[in-house]
Amino acid sequence: MKTRIKDELIDELLNLSKDPSDLLGSQGLLNELKKRLIERTMDAELSHNLGYAKHARGAAKKDNSRNGHSKKTVRTTTGPLEIEVPRDRNGDYEPQIIGKHERHFDGFDEAILSLYARGLTVRETQEHLRELYDVDVSAAFISTVTDQVVDEVKNWQSRPLDRVYPIVFFDAIVAKVRHEGKVSNRAIYLALAVNMDGKKELLGMWSSQNEGSKFWLQVLTELKNRGLEDIFICCVDGLKGFSQAIETVYPDSQVQLCIVHMVRNSLRFVGYKERRKVAAELKTIYRASSVEAAEQAFSSFKEQYAHRYPAIIQSWDNHWQNIIPFFSYPEDIRKVIYTTNAIESLNSSLRKISRSRNLFPSEESVYKLFYLALKNISKKWTMPIPNWAAALNRFTIEFPERCSN
């Protein structure tokens, strides 16, 4: 039940403040009120533990009694508070509202994790905490708070999955990591799924320096062990060894070279002024109604850009066999694959967040940052992706047994 504070009490408190700093500043009325409430709560806790109220008759005859107070400074989101913690003679009292060895309160850990999730370095986090809350914290303290996420990441990475995901995008983002005394580029692989409700869901993160069929076999086996029995369409960006591994673990899954990535990689060879035009020409290929129509559109593209963009033509030629499965899908399913910017926007957000980190001290620190960032990003994944209802209808027609089991 929500407690409502009487207006008369609010008016009385406001009369004690002459300006906003008197009320909201680190030395203001709000902090004083918080300090008094914490101390009163601790006194009540101790009374409960002792079995009698403060100043009660006969207290001196009890086995245990109050023994003054000790001072303690705690960090809060409204500034530091110096509180008086009650003590008992036997040393049995363990404060609940703020633990015996705790030095922070009132969502302070959450504030640190929120800043960390936005990509701030430890030094930047220290500066923000100093500016916002007038609190100085050590780098070791920030690391201790963020390290609490490690077990949460492990639990998330091993959580049970749905039995079926119609579409899963597999992609990677590269981070510089110090590993065994050396700095190297580590690929963090992501599996972003669209579930049966049409909502995006990140299935997991994996790190590897050597991509290949052995690595992907391990990843896909892990997904299967977590309960994922079937994937209709796997969208990948030319990942080495993926096709062999998927045939072993999910033999009924269709592997499709990701059109979003294919177009993005092609436009790297095009100057800014012509990008819109070339993108429109490429669209005539992947928006074609059939393989035959796509081949005609690609032939036209070759004639127009053979001399100017041979790298684009070579790339599409080399990957053509991994592009054409796309055309066997009905329009509703195709539209979901090539219009969703899910994997693109996710990677863009992670790159933006990690941009300030030129170097991660460990692989674990990458996982911590990405996990916290993904928690924030995924809060927006509340609605089905565009065109999902039509796509789901098509899936139930194309794969009736796989949808119903």
DSSP 219-276: HHHHHHHTT--EEEEEEESS-TTHHHHHHHH-TTPEEEE-HHHHHHHHHTTS-GGGHH
User: Is 137 part of any domain?
Assistant: no
CB count within 10 Å of CB 196 equals 14
User: Is 114 part of any domain?
Assistant: no
User: Is 130 part of any domain?
Assistant: no
User: Is 315 part of any domain?
Assistant: yes
**Tens-digit pLDDT string for the chain (405 aa):** 455 656 665 666 566 666 655 555 556 566 676 677 677 777 777 887 787 777 666 555 567 888 888 887 776 666 677 777 888 888 887 776 566 666 655 556 666 777 776 777 778 777 877 765 566 777 777 777 777 788 888 899 999 999 999 999 888 888 888 877 788 888 888 999 999 999 999 999 998 777 788 899 999 999 999 999 999 998 887 777 788 888 899 999 988 888 888 888 899 999 988 999 999 999 999 989 899 999 999 999 999 998 899 999 999 998 888 888 888 887 777 877 765 466 777 878 888 877 777 778 888 888 888 888 888 888 888 899 888 888 888 888 888 888 875
Contact predicate 325/334, CB 8 Å? no
User: Is 119 part of any domain?
Assistant: no
d(CA 33, CA 15): 14
- Number of domains, the chain: 2
Looking at the whole model, is its pTM more than 0.75? no
Contact predicate 149/171, CB 8 Å? no
CA 325 to chain centre: 32
Interhelix angle 108-117/139-147, nearest 10 degrees: 90
222 and 79 in a common domain: no
Contact predicate 246/180, CB 8 Å? no
76 and 206 in a common domain: no
Q: Assign 98 to helix, strand or coil.
A: coil
239 and 345 in a common domain: yes
d(CA 405, CA 401): 6
298 and 175 in a common domain: yes
Residue with tokens 């980190």: 357
User: Is 242 part of any domain?
Assistant: yes
* Structural domain containing residue 225: 154-404
Residue with tokens 């990140």: 202
290 and 183 in a common domain: yes
91 and 163 in a common domain: no
Residue with tokens 């969502």: 107
